Amino acid sequence: MENRILGLHHITAIANNAQRNYDFYTHVLGLRMVKKTVNFDDPSTYHFYYGNETGTPGTILTFFPWEGIGRGRTGVGMATEIGYSVPTGSLDNWAGRFREMGVSMGQQAERFGEVYLPFTDPDGLAIALIQHPDDRPVWETADLKENIATRGFHSVTLTLQSIDATARVLTDIFGYVQQGQEGNRYRFITDSTPTASIVDLLEEPTGTLGRNAAGTNHHVAFRVANDAIQMEFRDKILSKGLQITPKIDRDYFFSLYFREPGGVLFEIATDNPGFTVDEPLAELGTHLKLPRQHEDKRAKIETSLPVLS
């Protein structure tokens, strides 16, 4: 595989309530819970991973559900919209489903020639379903089948006071190219992968800075095949004068973190070792899995976590 960034790996956001978050993403959106674990730095808080059947990179949305943290503010210096690919012709079905389930949504519109439906989760996190050709395997539920179900990420939108320095990270380090512009929205894409390949930069020079809490995105992770390639990108990032963490073992992938010049926290995450390293495929997300350094405190941690029904 080429030594390239392979689009998006995962996106991590913040929620206010674990049960409500679990219900929305598994029952309303129909995603699979592929891993139920805890925050490495705060083991009294869950870390949920949602995705397709196998938790393929490019389908993974994760959450820190900090109970009672309150609503954040979406704004400049953060990722402000998550885009999911859905089949052509499915948006009317989704709109009807959202109406029945009381989901807050906007009107269908068009962006870069593709029709999309914007909506928000219970904490106000902005998401869009975007009609886009995508043959990735889906996770089906009783009422969300192949003809409707989400395929994984289409894109992520970053809101910035100025796009210039962030655009250079995407093009000069990550290998993206600018594909188009609509108003103050600039689209960047990589040809290293046919899916989860788009980053939109929204330029708002007088926009209000965002504040991380529930309903906001914490960071955006980009995908590489393995940790050898990952370390090559670490060298590239350092050569551009940016600060970046050492390699961190997150049990299911290896991570590097750096804050790009526009203020968004970026991660570079590997495909290896994957989510079946500690659970068989059929049982993904059904057990509480703890980072190795917290396993000896399991009884205390289990008592501190909200019980999911």
The end-to-end CA distance of the chain, in Å, is 42
pLDDT number for residue 30: 98
State yes or no: pLDDT of 1 exceeds 70: no
The per-residue pLDDT for range 285-305, each reduced to its tens digit, is: 999 999 999 999 999 999 999
Q: Topology of 7-304 in CATH?
A: 2,3-Dihydroxybiphenyl 1,2-Dioxygenase; domain 1 (3.10.180)
Rounded CA-CA distance 271/15 in Å is: 25
State yes or no: pLDDT of 2 exceeds 80: no
Domain boundaries, the chain: 7-304
* Cis ω before 273 (30° cut-off from 0): yes
The per-residue pLDDT for range 217-245, each reduced to its tens digit, is: 999 999 999 999 999 999 999 999 999 99
Mean pLDDT of 1-6: 84
The per-residue pLDDT for range 163-191, each reduced to its tens digit, is: 999 999 999 999 999 999 999 999 999 99
The per-residue pLDDT for range 100-159, each reduced to its tens digit, is: 999 999 999 999 999 999 999 999 999 999 999 999 999 999 999 999 999 999 999 999
> How many CB atoms sit inside 10 A of residue 1's CB?
10
Contacts of 65 (CB under 8 A, 6+ apart): 14, 15, 16, 17, 18, 21, 45, 46, 48
State yes or no: pLDDT of 80 exceeds 80: yes
Using a pLDDT cut of 70, give the percent of the chain over it.
Answer: 100
Rounded CA-CA distance 223/171 in Å is: 15
User: In 3D, which of 278, 257, 212 has the Cα closest to residue 9?
Assistant: 257
